[in-house]
């Protein structure tokens, strides 16, 4: 029985002993307090007395157990335990289902890092997988440091196979984020995750989008055209490069002294500021 409880609660032997002591002491305290309160009420023993007593100890027991758990160092366990009980009894609404994100990235992973940080403490959204097509990419170190699984993909299977749909479904991915991912997304993925794949582009689409328009190529084109402003575009992904419906844009002025590197730095700041927030909004219940 004790081994079953240890596995069920995922605790060691000492903690199991302290938990059982908390249950026993909290139960005794509940009974004592319940009888004292009933004596103070001065009611005669009857069926109504017993019904009232049962209701009273039912209300007193959680408070008594929580109080005792502090002294046994098990307060965190019992807050979780009572929360689960309340959910089973439907006394509180069920927790919203966790939405699993897969981040596709090909490079250093600065946007992936910001998204991981943003959702690190979330109970509703989890970065569950990093998908990468380049061995040695910086995003792989970010994933390792965050303890996030990595799926390395190769071109043949991505385009001529099923686009790794099976692997993504096995990881229970609900939403796909492209964060500096340079390959075009195949229709096999788009069909399964329709309007659940988003990309960020370092320009104001529909300007400076399409095949080959990524990174410094975009910023060079903006400066060469002497555009007064640039920015970022967050959009849904369809079968064409940088073509899906626009979700959000943010703008910054292009200075006469800007170089592709200086413009890229300010664009990156915009991406880090807005991308995690927009993803959170799209995943809100």
Q: Which residues are catalytic?
A: 201
The C-alpha angle with vertex 226 and arms to 221 and 232, in degrees rounded to 5, equals 60
Q: How far is CA 259 from the centre of its chain?
A: 36
What is the rounded CA–CA span in Å between residue 269 and residue 265? 6
The C-alpha angle with vertex 57 and arms to 53 and 59, in degrees rounded to 5, equals 120
Hey, which residues does 201 pair with through a beta bridge?
233
CA-atom Rg of the chain in angstroms: 28
Closest to 138 in 3D by CA, of 102, 117, 113: 113
Contact 166, 173 (CB under 8 A): no
Query: Positive or negative, the Cα torsion across 67, 71, 75, 78?
Result: negative
Closest to 199 in 3D by CA, of 226, 235, 170, 231: 235
What is the rounded CA–CA span in Å between residue 66 and residue 64? 6
């Amino acid at each position: 029985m004790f081994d079953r409880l240890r596995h069920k609660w995922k605790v060691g032997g000492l903690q199991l002993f302290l938990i059982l002591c908390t249950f026993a002491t909290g139960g005794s305290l509940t009974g004592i307090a319940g009888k004292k309160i009933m004596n103070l009420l001065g009611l005669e023993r009857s069926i109504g007395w017993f019904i009232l007593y049962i209701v009273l100890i039912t209300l007193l027991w959680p408070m008594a157990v929580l109080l005792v758990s502090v002294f046994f160092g098990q307060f965190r366990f019992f807050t979780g335990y009572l929360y689960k009980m309340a959910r089973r009894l439907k006394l509180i609404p069920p927790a919203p289902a966790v939405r699993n994100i897969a981040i596709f990235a090909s490079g250093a992973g600065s946007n992936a890092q910001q998204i991981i940080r943003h959702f690190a403490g979330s109970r509703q959204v989890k970065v569950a997988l990093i998908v990468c097509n380049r061995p040695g990419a910086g995003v792989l170190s970010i994933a390792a440091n965050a303890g996030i699984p990595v799926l390395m993909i190769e071109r043949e299977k991505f385009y001529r196979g099923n686009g790794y749909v099976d692997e993504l479904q096995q990881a229970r991915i609900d939403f796909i984020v492209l964060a500096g991912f340079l390959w075009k997304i195949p229709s096999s993925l788009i069909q399964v995750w329709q309007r659940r794949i988003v990309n960020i582009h370092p320009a104001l689409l529909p300007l400076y989008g399409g095949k080959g328009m990524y990174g410094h190529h975009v910023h060079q084109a903006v400066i060469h055209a002497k555009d007064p402003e640039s920015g970022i575009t967050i959009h849904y992904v369809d079968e064409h490069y940088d073509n899906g419906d626009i979700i959000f844009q943010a703008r910054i002025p292009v200075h006469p002294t800007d170089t592709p590197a200086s413009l890229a730095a300010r664009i990156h700041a915009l991406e880090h500021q807005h991308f995690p927030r927009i993803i959170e909004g799209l995943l809100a219940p």
